[in-house]
Amino acid sequence: MEKMINTDLIKKLRNNRSWSQDQLAAVSGLSLRTVQRIENEGSCSLESKKALAAVFAISASSLDVDTTAAEVLALQQRGRNYGLAGAGVGLVCAYIGITVAFVSGDITASLAGLYYGGSAAFCGFCCAAIGVFANRREQKDVAI
Protein backbone atom coordinates (compact mmCIF):
# COMPACT_ATOMS: atom_id res chain seq x y z
CA MET A 1 0.00 0.00 0.00
CA GLU A 2 1.38 3.39 -1.00
CA LYS A 3 1.78 6.00 1.75
CA MET A 4 2.13 9.75 1.26
CA ILE A 5 5.22 11.22 2.89
CA ASN A 6 6.62 14.71 3.35
CA THR A 7 8.90 15.16 0.34
CA ASP A 8 10.20 18.52 1.57
CA LEU A 9 11.42 16.89 4.77
CA ILE A 10 13.14 14.06 2.86
CA LYS A 11 14.91 16.56 0.59
CA LYS A 12 15.88 18.75 3.55
CA LEU A 13 17.32 15.82 5.52
CA ARG A 14 19.19 14.58 2.45
CA ASN A 15 20.58 18.03 1.65
CA ASN A 16 21.62 18.60 5.30
CA ARG A 17 23.90 15.61 4.90
CA SER A 18 25.04 16.80 1.46
CA TRP A 19 23.91 13.54 -0.10
CA SER A 20 22.82 13.10 -3.68
CA GLN A 21 19.77 10.99 -4.43
CA ASP A 22 22.15 8.23 -5.51
CA GLN A 23 23.95 8.34 -2.16
CA LEU A 24 20.66 8.24 -0.26
CA ALA A 25 19.61 5.23 -2.33
CA ALA A 26 22.87 3.43 -1.52
CA VAL A 27 22.71 4.15 2.22
CA SER A 28 19.02 3.24 2.54
CA GLY A 29 19.14 0.14 0.36
CA LEU A 30 16.55 1.58 -2.02
CA SER A 31 16.96 1.97 -5.75
CA LEU A 32 17.76 5.37 -7.22
CA ARG A 33 14.46 5.30 -9.10
CA THR A 34 12.58 4.67 -5.84
CA VAL A 35 14.28 7.64 -4.16
CA GLN A 36 13.48 9.82 -7.18
CA ARG A 37 9.82 8.71 -7.14
CA ILE A 38 9.53 9.34 -3.42
CA GLU A 39 10.97 12.86 -3.70
CA ASN A 40 8.94 13.73 -6.80
CA GLU A 41 5.58 12.13 -6.04
CA GLY A 42 5.63 11.75 -2.26
CA SER A 43 4.41 8.16 -2.39
CA CYS A 44 6.23 5.11 -1.09
CA SER A 45 5.69 1.72 0.48
CA LEU A 46 5.82 1.21 4.22
CA GLU A 47 9.14 -0.61 3.81
CA SER A 48 10.68 2.33 1.92
CA LYS A 49 9.37 4.73 4.55
CA LYS A 50 10.93 2.67 7.32
CA ALA A 51 14.23 2.48 5.44
CA LEU A 52 14.36 6.26 5.04
CA ALA A 53 13.41 6.82 8.68
CA ALA A 54 16.19 4.48 9.79
CA VAL A 55 18.77 6.25 7.65
CA PHE A 56 17.83 9.64 9.07
CA ALA A 57 17.42 8.25 12.63
CA ILE A 58 13.85 9.53 12.98
CA SER A 59 10.52 7.81 13.52
CA ALA A 60 8.65 6.65 10.46
CA SER A 61 5.56 8.59 11.53
CA SER A 62 7.52 11.87 11.41
CA LEU A 63 7.72 11.42 7.63
CA ASP A 64 3.92 11.49 7.27
CA VAL A 65 2.27 14.35 5.42
CA ASP A 66 0.12 16.60 7.58
CA THR A 67 -3.08 16.02 5.63
CA THR A 68 -5.24 18.21 7.85
CA ALA A 69 -3.24 21.32 6.94
CA ALA A 70 -3.43 20.44 3.25
CA GLU A 71 -7.17 19.82 3.48
CA VAL A 72 -7.78 23.14 5.29
CA LEU A 73 -5.77 25.00 2.66
CA ALA A 74 -7.72 23.31 -0.15
CA LEU A 75 -11.05 24.22 1.48
CA GLN A 76 -9.96 27.83 1.92
CA GLN A 77 -8.84 28.05 -1.68
CA ARG A 78 -12.13 26.54 -2.87
CA GLY A 79 -14.13 29.00 -0.74
CA ARG A 80 -12.13 31.94 -2.09
CA ASN A 81 -12.67 30.73 -5.66
CA TYR A 82 -16.43 30.34 -5.12
CA GLY A 83 -16.62 33.80 -3.56
CA LEU A 84 -14.76 35.43 -6.45
CA ALA A 85 -16.81 33.50 -9.01
CA GLY A 86 -20.00 34.64 -7.27
CA ALA A 87 -18.87 38.25 -7.33
CA GLY A 88 -18.04 37.91 -11.04
CA VAL A 89 -21.42 36.36 -11.85
CA GLY A 90 -23.13 39.10 -9.85
CA LEU A 91 -21.29 41.78 -11.81
CA VAL A 92 -22.23 40.21 -15.15
CA CYS A 93 -25.89 39.93 -14.09
CA ALA A 94 -25.90 43.56 -12.92
CA TYR A 95 -24.41 44.68 -16.24
CA ILE A 96 -27.02 42.69 -18.17
CA GLY A 97 -29.83 44.21 -16.11
CA ILE A 98 -28.51 47.73 -16.57
CA THR A 99 -28.02 47.21 -20.30
CA VAL A 100 -31.56 45.86 -20.73
CA ALA A 101 -32.97 48.81 -18.78
CA PHE A 102 -30.95 51.26 -20.89
CA VAL A 103 -31.89 49.63 -24.22
CA SER A 104 -35.58 49.54 -23.30
CA GLY A 105 -35.44 53.25 -22.43
CA ASP A 106 -36.20 52.85 -18.72
CA ILE A 107 -33.00 54.69 -17.71
CA THR A 108 -30.85 57.39 -19.32
CA ALA A 109 -27.29 56.92 -20.52
CA SER A 110 -25.89 58.93 -17.62
CA LEU A 111 -27.85 56.90 -15.10
CA ALA A 112 -26.73 53.66 -16.79
CA GLY A 113 -23.11 54.82 -16.51
CA LEU A 114 -23.61 55.60 -12.85
CA TYR A 115 -25.10 52.14 -12.27
CA TYR A 116 -22.26 50.44 -14.20
CA GLY A 117 -19.68 52.25 -12.12
CA GLY A 118 -21.48 51.52 -8.87
CA SER A 119 -21.81 47.83 -9.74
CA ALA A 120 -18.13 47.57 -10.64
CA ALA A 121 -17.11 49.35 -7.45
CA PHE A 122 -19.30 47.06 -5.36
CA CYS A 123 -17.88 43.99 -7.10
CA GLY A 124 -14.34 45.26 -6.50
CA PHE A 125 -15.15 45.83 -2.84
CA CYS A 126 -16.54 42.28 -2.55
CA CYS A 127 -13.45 40.76 -4.19
CA ALA A 128 -11.17 42.77 -1.92
CA ALA A 129 -13.16 41.68 1.14
CA ILE A 130 -12.96 38.03 0.08
CA GLY A 131 -9.19 38.35 -0.32
CA VAL A 132 -8.69 40.12 3.00
CA PHE A 133 -10.85 37.69 4.98
CA ALA A 134 -9.27 34.67 3.29
CA ASN A 135 -5.76 35.94 4.10
CA ARG A 136 -6.73 36.65 7.71
CA ARG A 137 -8.14 33.15 8.00
CA GLU A 138 -4.94 31.63 6.57
CA GLN A 139 -2.79 33.64 9.00
CA LYS A 140 -5.02 32.58 11.89
CA ASP A 141 -4.74 28.90 10.87
CA VAL A 142 -0.95 29.15 10.55
CA ALA A 143 -0.73 30.64 14.06
CA ILE A 144 -2.74 27.73 15.50
Taking the complete model, does pTM exceed 0.75, yes or no?
A: no
CA dist 56 → 28, 53, 83, 91 (Å):
9, 5, 44, 55
Is the C-alpha dihedral spanning 35, 36, 40, 43 positive or negative? negative
The half-sphere exposure of 107 on its side-chain side, counting CA atoms within 13 A, is: 14
* pLDDT tens for each residue of 64-117: 876 666 676 777 788 788 888 888 898 899 999 999 999 999 999 999 999 999
The radius of gyration of the chain's CA atoms, rounded to the nearest angstrom, is: 26
Q: What is the mean pLDDT of residues 112-134?
A: 88
Domain 3-63, CATH homologous superfamily name and number:
lambda repressor-like DNA-binding domains (1.10.260.40)
The domain limits of the chain are 3-63, 67-143
Higher pLDDT, 41 or 65: 41
pLDDT, position 65: 78
Instruction: Return d(Cα 54, Cα 28) in angstroms, integer.
Output: 8
